[in-house]
């Protein structure tokens, strides 16, 4: 039998409290298994990607910009599990992670990191218009104060 074994895994949660509870239970389970079998077990629980949680005000601003352009919007959708760098940004400064919608068929419907993913170039003017609208809504521009 090997003298050392390493087990690795990935945990995703929807709220920080759930992630912390998973870490606690993993340590408790490993400690119990180690005690039962007379072996030393150590658990190293690293959190590389925290939960991406949208802030209410920023989410309302994104929905407002989308609606102003006549885009189909879904401001309160079911939670999704991402490993997303944006989570760290929005933990420091409230933000909103949005999905523009790349397509529902063919290579444009594939997950971002799939080998057959293809960005839908038809989204470029829609995305540019969305970001311009969001800037108009959020920044005090001459003639737009007070909005």
Residue-level length of the chain: 147
Crossing angle of helices 123-138 and 56-68, rounded to 10°: 120
Predicted local distance difference test score (pLDDT) of residue 145 = 59
Q: What is the pTM of this model?
A: 0.74
Residue range 67-102, pLDDT digits in tens: 999 999 988 888 877 778 899 999 999 999 998 888
* Domains identified in the chain and CATH numbers: 1-47 (no CATH), 56-138 (1.10.150)
| 120 or 144, higher pLDDT | 120
Q: How many CB atoms lie within 10 A of CB 24?
A: 11
Backbone region of residue 55 per phi and psi (left: phi > 0; alpha: psi in -120 to 50; beta: other values): beta
């Amino acid at each position: 039998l090997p003298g050392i074994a390493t087990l690795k895994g990935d945990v995703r949660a929807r709220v920080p409290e759930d992630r912390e509870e998973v870490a606690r239970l993993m340590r408790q389970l490993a400690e119990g298994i180690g005690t039962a079998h007379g072996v030393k077990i150590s658990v190293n629980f690293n959190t590389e990607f925290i939960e991406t949680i949208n802030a209410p005000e920023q989410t309302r601003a994104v929905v407002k910009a989308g609606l102003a352009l006549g885009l189909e919007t879904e401001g309160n959708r079911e939670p999704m599990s991402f490993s997303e760098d944006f989570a760290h940004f929005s933990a420091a400064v409230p933000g909103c992670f949005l999905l523009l919608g790349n397509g529902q068929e063919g290579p444009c419907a594939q997950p971002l990191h799939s080998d057959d993913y293809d960005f839908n170039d038809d989204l470029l003017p829609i995305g540019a218009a969305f970001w311009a609208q969001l800037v108009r809504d959020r920044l005090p521009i001459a003639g737009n104060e007070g909005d």
